[in-house]
Amino acid sequence: MITQQTAATPRLRLTSRGRAVLTGLAALPLVVGIAFGAVQAGSAAASDDSSTETFEYVTVSSGESLWALAERIAPDHDPREVVAEIVDLNQLGTSSVGAGERIAIPSQYESEQG
């Protein structure tokens, strides 16, 4: 007579070290999520101080330079300072502009232009 042997299935046993590793792996996504949320909350708070200042835009005429534009929009101010503010405000790499470009002017000069 042939007897059928059943294979004994081994039972999974976790040691205390295994439980610690498993707990750490399970908690890792939670820790990463909290860290990501903390970083995002910090950048959101930093960007909350954004300026609500509005600007008026002017279109550069053919042959007009930033210097001429500065003299036109702020005749009572030093053109060097006005040009520097326009370059900074518009994040221009140089002080060269082309005809037809729309340039934001600082709000302090809006009422002065004619």
Q: Give the model confidence (pLDDT) of 41-93 as tens digits.
A: 766 555 545 556 677 888 888 888 899 988 988 899 999 999 999 898 898 88
How much is the pLDDT for 45? 53
Rounded to whole angstroms, how far apart are CA atoms 64 and 112?
19
Is 113 a residue whose pLDDT tops 80? no
Per mean pLDDT, which range of 20-34, 36-50, 89-103 is the poorest?
A: 36-50
Rounded to whole angstroms, how far apart are CA atoms 63 and 42?
46
More confident residue, 25 or 43: 25
How much is the pLDDT for 48? 47
Query: Mean per-residue pLDDT for 94-99?
Result: 85
The class of domain 56-109 in CATH terms is alpha beta
What residue spans define the domains of the chain?
16-48, 56-109
How much is the pLDDT for 11? 80
pTM beyond 0.75: the answer is no
**Tokens 């702020």 label which residue?**
74
- Percent of the chain at pLDDT > 90 equals 17
